[in-house]
Structure 1
């Protein structure tokens, strides 16, 4: 009887972990299972020209900018999901983004970069917008930032 209970528990845990992986096929491959989550309500709506192509182009542009610098990138950024609606940012250094605070500092740095773009400069009150607002405008629904080792933070964008 005890072995049957153990097998039932093992089966339930296996099914639960499989369901968790099914909902996030990128966890365990690009980053560890998210250790924290939040929901961000954007200050703007998705733009009318937002598309899979624009989201992928956005990540290609950021990666090209990083490659032009005289040093290796400190993070990699890419779009995943059926419609490239999931933005993934993974740190490359062993201790660069190893706390939630450092991940949020990276997001603040990306906000500064976003505010320097012509897109944001033409918005009313660009100083009140942040990187997640830009993500919403382009059509991303989720951003996951990770140190690429043990920490991942998920942000659902509404």
Structure 2
């Protein structure tokens, strides 16, 4: 009886882990590091699935229209498109978490130049993470697509 209970508990635990990381092994390798982003610079309403998907479409279109080939891709997953995944397409761009953070800093510069942050007087304080928080993403996964993945969880 004890074995049966232990086996059942193991199955339940395995199911919970699989549900939590259902994209591991398909879109990215195991999560190797995590952080939580909990700063809320503005309350946001109306930032639903359509807003998140439009954001991904704008980023992807800009990458595809650029003269050079993209070095990483953006895509959203989940029934409400709440998971943003950034995956490297070559071995150098996200060869370390530090290079990935440099890309996040570069994306911050790009979004600060946009009209929304300037209109809201946030261009000097907001970051790319703040934008994702405003759009109500639940999490972002950054990965080299081979050996590591980093999860950023957004809490509101």
- TM bin, normalised by shorter chain, reads 0.7 to 0.9
Measure the CA separation in 2 of the matches of 1:18 and 1:150.
24
1:156 corresponds to which residue?
A: 153
Aligned residues: 154
Structure-2-length-normalised TM-score: 0.87
Give the Cα separation in 2 of the matches to 1:50 and 1:125. Answer: 18
Paired residue for 2:130? 133
Counterpart for residue 118 of structure 2? 121
In structure 2, the residue corresponding to 1:39 is in which secondary structure?
A: strand
Q: State the superposition RMSD in angstroms.
A: 2.3
Gaps of at least 5 residues in structure 1 are 1-7
- Consecutive unaligned residues of structure 2, counting only runs of 5 or more, are none
Structure 2 CA distance for partners of 1:145 and 1:38, relative to 1, 3 Å: same
2:31 is aligned to 34
1:77-125 Cα deviation digits (max 9, x unpaired)? 0111111111111111112202111111111111111111111111224
* Matched residue, 1:80: 77
